[in-house]
Amino acid sequence: MYGISGLSLDGWSLVGINGANDSEYRVIDLSGGTIPLDGILVVATSIAAAPLAAVTDFVADVDWENGAPDAIQLRDASDLVIDALAYGGLMAAGEGNSAPDVPAGSSLTRDAFGTDTNDNLTDFTANATPTPGVGPPPIPEPSQALLALLACGVSLMRRTR
């Protein structure tokens, strides 16, 4: 995800939503984390492959479900959904139309500017080569409380099984 450098994520969370029944199946507490100097927070599992581990800023159990449709939400300390990504089928837990489902080893990513039109199909594209830690240019105004999911930074890299 990206946001204002130094922003505390105390009370913030990433929430996995199961598309089969709209239930929460994983909640990742981001407390103790802060947005790093480059504005991009890369969240990965402790057993991430070396290239991903090298750019990881926050370690958590980010083993998102492979089934589709599913969604990931970014929630603030008051549990308000700040950003959401639904993929593989329409879900109320996402924003607008669902992003496509991607095969194992691939990811979904926003464009180089972090465009957020509140429509997942418009905002996210399939990326055969995941690029964790690569995101939009730094946010210019510290007064903006902008945070957004970067699927590659949120590790929506489909696991291979």
pLDDT digits (tens, 9 = 90+) for 51-96: 888 888 888 888 777 667 999 999 999 999 999 999 988 788 999 9
**pLDDT at 9 exceeding the cut of 90:** yes
Smallest CA-to-CA distance from 132 within 41, 59, 61 is with: 41
Confidence of residue 158 (pLDDT cuts 50, 70, 90): very low
pTM of the predicted model over 0.95: no
Domain coordinates in residue numbering, the chain: 13-127
What is the structure's pLDDT at 131? Answer: 67
φ, ψ (nearest 5 deg) of residue 123:
-85, -25
Average pLDDT over residues 12-34: 93
Smallest CA-to-CA distance from 101 within 120, 126, 78 is with: 126
Give the start-end residues of each E strand in 19-154: 23-29, 43-44, 58-59, 70-75, 81-87, 107-109, 125-127
